[in-house]
Amino acid sequence: MPSPKAKNNCGRSGSIPGVTSNGRYEFMSLSRSPPPHLLQRQGSDPTSARLRASESPTRRRGSGSSNASSSSATGGQQLPEEDCMRLNPSFVGIALSSLLAIDLWLSKRLGVCACEDSSWGSIRPLMKLVEISGHGIPWLAGALYCLYKSDSAAGQEVMLNLLMALVMDLVLVAVVKAVVRRRRPTHNRMDMFATFSVDRYSFPSGHATRAAMCARFLLAHLVLAAPLRVLVLLWAVLVGFSRVLLGRHNVTDVVFGFGMGYCQYNLVEMLWVSPLGLQLMMGQMG
Ligand SMILES: CC(C)=CCC/C(C)=C/COP(=O)(O)O
């Protein structure tokens, strides 16, 4: 016997059963209006009227009176295969809510440097140093400085592309934050320096996207010695961890941020500006 929730989902997500004039069940799509004979029956049939009255307000608001006939018609019977497959979204929903609940719980437990009197509050200054190492301003300033100081065409090319990658990262993160609008954890103290207004939102972590993208950039173009490559990777991981320990982000913000930063580097490679391309661009502008 399907659970009330399952029946509800089946009804909401597609076809709804009704009883035809010859007494057989028929299915119709929610996107189409029910035939008039069914509308009339829903209004007059005392059983379906009783079921409608016992519906929860949410269900009544969400799916209209047609769901009442869904409950009465399926009652105890096996649902057609097509409708059973539509139960899946509710499981996906439950899985997602569980993941979010675990995320909130874990992030709160890991926010051990969220303030000075937290359990690991003594290492908060160290974590804030790590935070600064992944902040946009030192990275933009560093790339600009190296671009200015570089005397080889190859060096200038790499620095110019790093600069563009950093700007693109800021824009993409701002767009996703503005769309998703997930609030920062309640235990976060908003004492970060130089933030944009979208930085009151936490999904995804801008530090994590930058750390992942810059780490890939450094490994591909600048850092060749094996011990330094390990250090770059450790730094990126530490930046991610520090976001959760400081209470700035939930775990999922950082995990998504790492994934997004990793993919952003692919975009940087695709849009790579070569000296020739730059000359052509300059020529077209001049
Ligand atoms: C002002 C500039 C150039 C960058 C802002 C960098 C910043 C504060 C990002 C927020 O990072 P999280 O999303 O990880 O908290």
Asked if residues 244 and 107 have their Cβ atoms less than 8 Å apart, the reply is yes
Atom 8 (ligand 1): residue with closest C-alpha?
A: 195
Task: Indicate whether 7 pLDDT > 60.
Answer: no
Active site residue 37: no
Contacts of residues 23-26 at CB distance under 8 Å and 24 or more positions apart, as own/partner, are 25/73
- Quick check: is 249 catalytic? yes
Q: Is the pTM of this model over 0.90?
A: no
Question: Could you tell which of 169, 191, 199, 248 is best to mutate to test the pocket of ligand 1, judged by most ligand atoms within 8 Å of the CB?
Answer: 199
Does the structure show a pLDDT above 80 at 79? no
Residues with CB under 6 A from ligand 1: 135-137, 140, 170, 192, 194-196, 199, 205-207, 243, 248
Query: From CA 250, how far away is CA 104, in angstroms rounded?
Result: 6
Query: How distant is the alpha carbon of residue 30 from its chain centre?
Result: 29
**32, pLDDT greater than 50:** no
Distance 169 CA to ligand 1 centre (A): 10
In ligand 1, the atom with minimum distance to the C-alpha of 207 is 14
Q: What residue spans of the chain are helical by DSSP H? A: 4-13, 36-44, 46-54, 57-63, 66-74, 81-85, 88-110, 124-133, 136-149, 153-180, 206-221, 226-245, 251-270, 275-285
- Using one digit for the tens of pLDDT, what is the confidence trace for 257-283? 999 999 999 999 999 998 777 777 767
pLDDT of residue 80: 55
Q: How far is the CA of 193 from the centre of ligand 1 (A)?
A: 8
> Which atom of ligand 1 has the smallest separation from the CA of 140?
3
> For a pocket test of ligand 1, which of 167, 177, 181, 196 has the largest count of ligand atoms closer than 8 A to its C-beta?
196
Read off the tokens for 195: 């933030």
Cα(94) to ligand 1 centroid in Å equals 32
